[in-house]
Structures are given as structure tokens and as C-alpha cells.
Amino acid sequence: MTESSAPQAQREVVHGWTRVSEHAYTRPLEGWKANVGVVVGKQRALLVDTGAGPEQAQRLLGLVRNLTDLPLVVVNTHAHFDHVYGNAFFADSEAGGAQEIWGHEAAAAWIREHGESQRTEVADLEPQFASAEGSHAQILAPTRTIGSAPQDLDLGGVTATLFHLGRGHTDGDLLVGVDNVVFAGDLVEQGADPAFEGSWPRDWVTALRKLSALRDLYPVVVPGHGEVVGMDVVDDMRATMGQAVRVATTAVQQAATDATKAVPILPYGPEQARALIRRLRATG
């Protein structure tokens, strides 16, 4: 994937956070390097994603407090563990103190039904939490949800807009637009293949096209993982994925039993190429 040009240039770094607009900051967390975000208003601050467990969440709160002492509201970009397992910590009035945790309704439903299924993924970073022990061991779904209609959050003098562009990386991807920046969650990946497990590949291509159409509003894109980019990277990702979906769809149709023959000609590593084929089959 190509490096972005203009939006990459000379960003201010504040207490280890990269400032991406007048009110918005981002930084990667340790472990899976998920990019979290903070949007600072006059009355409250918005935290985008909560980390992979309560210990990481506690460290994250310390990092947030280097930027702002304002009360927090939280949003989850999607249901995957490295973005939501800190929810219980942030929801605790004695800890993060967030009164609201926003997410897409499909993400909330997935966390309630399947959130436990990813707990062992974090064993190295969060051994206690992985064993469902210690404080804030609960896997908490968003407490406030949206569907297809966007939701504005007034932070005092600055408004963040939560919106859904259809199914993609998951069926509950939420984006956060503020100033000239959009936090895209894992709908956009920089420096790595898109993660197709659990995804809706055909819809994902469409969602990337819709995102790209917002380039005048949001020329700066914070991906779920990797460097801050411009919409040119979203365009590259969409073109590559569109091509991959076409090739893999043909392979699935022509070789009902062994479409994995297409793995070497797909523009991704073998693991994600296989996941793409699996998901094309599963999602019809």
C-alpha cells in the first residue's frame, strides 16, 4: 500500500499523542497497535476505542489524562477485542467514569453474544482478564447504540459525528468524523492486509467507496491500525479489494470444492487470502 503524501506532513505531537486536527488526537496502543483517538471539546472528551483489557485501559486513561481532565464519553469502532475489552474499566465511575459507551447496534449484539469468544486472544497482555479474573473482567457491550442513522455527539463547541457505511470489516463498523478527520476503525488498515475474518468483503468494497466520497469533508483518515493516511490510501485499498473480490468470486464459482487454488494470485498474504475466500462463501 502506498504512503500518503500531504496529510502525513508535520503533525504536532502532544504528550505522545499525534494531533490530527484542531480537536482530535491519536496514538497506537501496545500489543495489536490499535489506534485509539481522543476528541477534546469544552465540556467533554470523546475516547475512540478502549484497548484490549482493563490493564491496558488503565494505562490508556493515564495517557488521556495527559490531554484533558474533562468527563469522557466513549465510542467503539467495532466489536473486536483490541478495541472494546477496556469498556468495563472506562464505564466504572471509580475508574474511567464514562457515562456513555456508543457503538453500532450490531457490534453491541455481537459483543453480548460472542464477546467471550475472543477472551483468550489477550492472554499475553492481559493474563488476569483472559482468565476472567481481577477487576473490570466483564466484557461490556456499548450502552448506547446507533443503526443506519448518524448520531451527533455535542462535546461542547465541537461535534463528533458517529456514522455507519454498511457492513464491511464487521457488520457493526462505526466511523467517527470530527473537524477534517475521520476515525475509520479497521474498515481501513495501513501497512497490513485487511482482516477478512468475520467480514463482508463485497459490502466492504462498497463501504470504502462511500468513505472515499467523503474526501472533501474528511481528507484525513485515522485507520484502525497503522499510520494516519489520506483518502488516496482508501482508494488504493478499495481498488485492490475490488479486484481481489472479483478474482476470488470467480475462483469460488469455478472450483466449488477447492477455491484455495486462487490464494497465490490474490493480492494478499495467504492467511487473509484464505479468509477472504471463506467469507465470500459464507456471505453468498
Q: State the residues that interact with Zn ion by CB under 5 A.
A: 80, 186
Residue linked to cell 482468565: 131
Closest distance of CB 195 from Zn ion, Å:
6
Closest distance of CB 135 from Zn ion, Å:
25
Closest distance of CB 238 from Zn ion, Å:
18
Closest distance of CB 155 from Zn ion, Å:
25
H or E stretch including 186?
strand 181-189
Cβ distance to Zn ion smaller for residue 199 or 251: 199
Cβ distance to Zn ion smaller for residue 121 or 186: 186
Q: If we measure between CA atoms, which residue out of 143, 133, 135 comes closest to residue 105?
A: 143
Cβ distance to Zn ion smaller for residue 116 or 152: 116
* 24 close to 179: Cβ distance less than 8 angstroms: yes
Q: What angle do CA 173, 146, 167 make, to 5 degrees?
A: 30
Cβ distance to Zn ion smaller for residue 41 or 115: 115
Residue 57 to residue 174: CA distance in whole angstroms: 20
Residue 90: what residue type? Answer: F
Cβ distance to Zn ion smaller for residue 26 or 45: 26
Cβ distance to Zn ion smaller for residue 95 or 192: 192
Element counts in the chain: helices (H) and strands (E) = 8, 14
Q: Around Cβ 38, how many Cβ atoms within 10 Å? A: 23
Say which DSSP state 42 is in: S
Closest distance of CB 14 from Zn ion, Å:
27
Closest distance of CB 183 from Zn ion, Å:
13
* 181 close to 164: Cβ distance less than 8 angstroms: no
